[in-house]
Amino acid sequence: MKKLLLFLFFAILTIGCSMIPKDEVSKDTNDKKAIEVSSKPEVRQMILISSDETAKSDQHRLYMLNKTSFTPHIEVDNDFPWQNTYRLFFFVDYKQVNVTKSGKVQPYVEVDLEARKRIKFDDISINNLKEGRHDFLLFLVRNPDKPLKKDEFIPTEALHLSRRSTLIVKKDIPPRPNFSKLENKIPNSNDSKSIPFISYKPTESLREALGVIDKNKSDKVWINFPTPVVNKNYALIALLNNKQLKLETPFITSNTNGTTSLPLTVKEWNHNDNLIIGVIERPFEKGEDSKGSLLDPWTPTYTNKITIK
C-alpha cells in the first residue's frame, strides 16, 4: 500500500502553508510508508500568500475591482533547509493566462529560493479582464521539472499550494459555463478518498493511485475524484509540465454520490513529463458572503506527484 502521512496547515485568511515531515522512510511497496519524526522536528514548509487592498474583507476571497487589471501582493516562502525552485501559474475561469511582470508578458513566474528565504511580488499583473465575475486561481508548484524515478506516492501537500479567490470586475455578472452531467458508476464506500488521483482503470481506491504512468501498459488513464453530493458542480484543470491540457469535460455536475472517473489519453505525452490534475468544487460561486463569513467547501484539491515513463 502506497501511503504517506503528511501534516497540512492552511490558514483560511491569506496564507497557504504545506508542512513536510523531517524523516521519511519507505519500506517495500506492499508495506505502509513509515515516517520517523524526531521529538523536535526541523520545520520544512512552503508558504503562499496573496492579498490586495480591493478585498471585500480580511478573508481575501473576494476582490472588488473598478478596472480590468489585477495586481495582487504575492509572497512565496521557502522554509526549507535547502534550495527549491518554485513556479507560479495563474488561472482565470480555469484557463491558464499570461501575466505581465515588470513589463514582460509570460505564461508563468519561476523563482529559485535559497534555504529559509522568501520573495515578494508587487509587479505581477493579470490584464484584460472582462467585466463580470471571475474565478481566480494562483497555483504554486515546488520543483516542477523534477521527475519521479520510481512509482511512489508523493502527496500533493508536499508539492502544491494554491489560493482561490473571486474577482468582481465592475459588475457581478456570473459566467454560465456548460456543465456536463456524468453519472457515477462507483458508489460511495468507506474506501472513498477526498483527493483526486490517477489510475489505469476507474476506481475509488487510493491504493491504485499512480505516481508513474507507464504508456506501455495503457494508452489512457482515469482521473478519479470524490463527488459525495448529488447535483454539485465541479471544475477540472490539468497541467502537463508548463501548459494546460484541454479536457473534454472541464465542468461537470454530479448525478449520484460516489466517485467520478474520467478518461485521459496519454499517447502524446513524453518521457519525464509531469502531470497535475486539479478539482475545484462550486466553480464561480463566491467563497464568502456579504458579511465576510467563509463559505465551504471551497478549497481546490490536486493529485499527487505524477510522472510519465
Q: Which 3-state string (H, E, C) describes 28-63?
A: CCCCCCEEECCCCCCCCEEEEEEECCCECCCCCCEE
Single out the residue of 278, 304, 50 nearest to residue 159, CA to CA: 304
Does the pLDDT of residue 24 top 60, yes or no? no
Range 206-227 average pLDDT: 94
Q: Where are the domains of the chain?
A: 8-169, 180-308
Number of H helices, E strands in the chain: 0, 28
Q: Give pLDDT, residue 32.
A: 32
Does the pLDDT of residue 14 top 50, yes or no? no
**At the fourth CATH level, which superfamily is domain 8-169?**
Immunoglobulins (2.60.40.10)
pLDDT-derived band of residue 18, with 50, 70 and 90 as boundaries?
low
Q: Answer with the residue of higher pLDDT: 123 or 58.
A: 123
Q: Give pLDDT, residue 22.
A: 46
DSSP per-residue letters across 176-200: ---PEEE--SEE--TT--SS-EEES
DSSP state of 123: -
Does the pLDDT of residue 5 top 70, yes or no? no
Measure CA 107 to chain center. 17
Does the pLDDT of residue 34 top 80, yes or no? no
Give the whole-angstrom CA distance, residue 136 versus residue 60: 12
Comparing 69-83, 206-220, 250-264, the range with the smallest average pLDDT is: 250-264
Does the pLDDT of residue 37 top 60, yes or no? no
Joined together, the cell numbers standing for residue 104 give 514582460
pLDDT-derived band of residue 252, with 50, 70 and 90 as boundaries?
very high
Does the pLDDT of residue 40 top 50, yes or no? yes
Q: Give pLDDT, residue 26.
A: 37
Give pTM, 2 decimals. 0.86
Does the pLDDT of residue 61 top 60, yes or no? yes
Single out the residue of 136, 128, 152 nearest to residue 91, CA to CA: 136
> Nearest-5° angle of CA 37, CA 306, CA 11?
55
Residue with cell 497540512: 8
pLDDT-derived band of residue 19, with 50, 70 and 90 as boundaries?
low
Does the pLDDT of residue 159 top 80, yes or no? yes
Counting residues of the chain whose pLDDT is more than 90, the rounded percentage is 71
Q: Is 73 within 8 Å of 130 (Cβ atoms)?
A: no
CATH topology of domain 180-308: Immunoglobulin-like (2.60.40)
Give the whole-angstrom CA distance, residue 208 versus residue 293: 38
> Nearest-5° angle of CA 225, CA 229, CA 232?
85
